[in-house]
Amino acid sequence: ARAREAEARALPARTRDGHTVSIGANINLPDQAAFALSQGAEGVGLMRTEFLFLERGESPSEDEQFDIYRAMAVALGNRPLIVRALDIGGDKQVAHLNLPHEENPFLGVRGARLLLRRPDLLEPQLRALYRAARAGASLSIMFPMITTAAEIVALRTVSERIRAEVEAPAVPLGIMIEVPAAALQAESLARHADFFSIGTNDLTQYTLAIDRQNPQLAAQADSLHPAVLRLIQATVAGAAKHDRWVGVCGGIAGDPFGAALLTGLGVQELSMTPREVPAVKARLRDSELTALHALAAQALACEAAEDVRALEGGMA
């Protein structure tokens, strides 16, 4: 039975009517790659690099970062690897950076906003990533907390300069969609980004005005809220106008019902905690895309997250 289970995990997430969804893992370090692959992940959809900065008293050097990114690519045997540029601020504070106190850090200088103000953080990371690409790693770079087209244009300009300096090949540059403004302007952002990955943890927080860390509101912070689903739909529609692919790397991607619904909304890649991969794959393999499209249409018409959740019971 165990061998059969392992065999099933290795199968693609292909629906009964032949639609395939890419399945990635959210991991931070190369030594987690083997486990992710053993669970059936097809690559890494989100490498959270803050981790390299959070757990120590100083920033890792460019050379240390290069070693880690290259080791990750090697551990993945050149399967897809999406590395997210440093996402500091909000819930991710790094003491040794001595950043100024903010009254509302989730609405402050976080993610891309910090990267654009701190070339001393952004540039060594980009150099390390492009050096890894030059050394043969097939990676993509993803920027967090993008709100405006101007941010991605500015980040792309810096990236391109560093790529030229390092004499590296081009690398896909994607963005996270985690701010409602970005979802609503997805078409315009898609002109400047090669792919989108929706961060539903933050997108839910900003859409519903619920601090993602407030335990009193945790039950209401549901990424399947119809308002969040509409923003996901808008993101998929905007991306399609420029032939960009859309993934989801927030927590809801690892929930089998959530994964089914996201697939129905047109999301093409799902990235999740490694241990969630087998159940999500099994669920998608057991689904029909046509039924998932109908499910998504029903969910978008719902009034509340509970109504969306209740649709699960009605599914074949």
Contact 107, 135 (CB under 8 A): no
- 202 sits near Mg ion (criterion: CB under 5 A): yes
Please say which residue, 13 or 248, places its beta carbon nearer to Mg ion: 248
- Min dist. Cβ of residue 106 to ligand PEP (A): 10
- Contact at 8 Å (CB) between 234 and 300? no
Residue ranges with strand state E in 106-199: 139-143, 173-177, 195-198
Q: Which does 250 bind (CB under 5 to 8 A by kind): Mg ion, ligand PEP, none?
A: ligand PEP
Rounded distance, CA 22 to CA 242, Å? Answer: 20
User: By CB under 5 A, how many residues form the interface with Mg ion?
Assistant: 3
Contact status: 89 vs Mg ion (CB under 5 A): no
Would you count residue 254 as binding ligand PEP (CB under 6 A)?
no
Which of 42, 151, 202, 222 contacts ligand PEP by CB under 6 A?
202
Alpha-carbon span 283 to 37, nearest angstrom: 18
Query: Does 269 engage in binding with ligand PEP (CB under 6 A)?
Result: no
Question: Per-residue x/- mask for ligand PEP, residues 43 to 72, rule CB under 6 A?
Answer: ---x-x------------------------
Q: What's the rounded Cα separation, in Å, for the pair 75 and 82?
A: 14
The residue type found at 193 is: A
Show Cβ contacts of residue 220 under 8 Å, excluding neighbours closer than 6 positions.
Answer: 208, 210, 305
Residues 18 and 294: their CA atoms lie apart, in Å, by 17
| Binds ligand PEP (CB under 6 A): choice among 32, 93, 201, 298 | 201
Q: Residue 203 half-sphere exposure, CB side, CA atoms within 13 Å?
A: 32
Between 90 and 278, CB nearer to ligand PEP: 90
- Tell me the closest approach of the beta carbon of residue 186 to Mg ion, in angstroms: 17
Q: List residues binding ligand PEP (CB under 6 A).
A: 46, 48, 87, 178, 199-202, 249-250
Q: List residues binding Mg ion (CB under 5 A).
A: 178, 199, 202
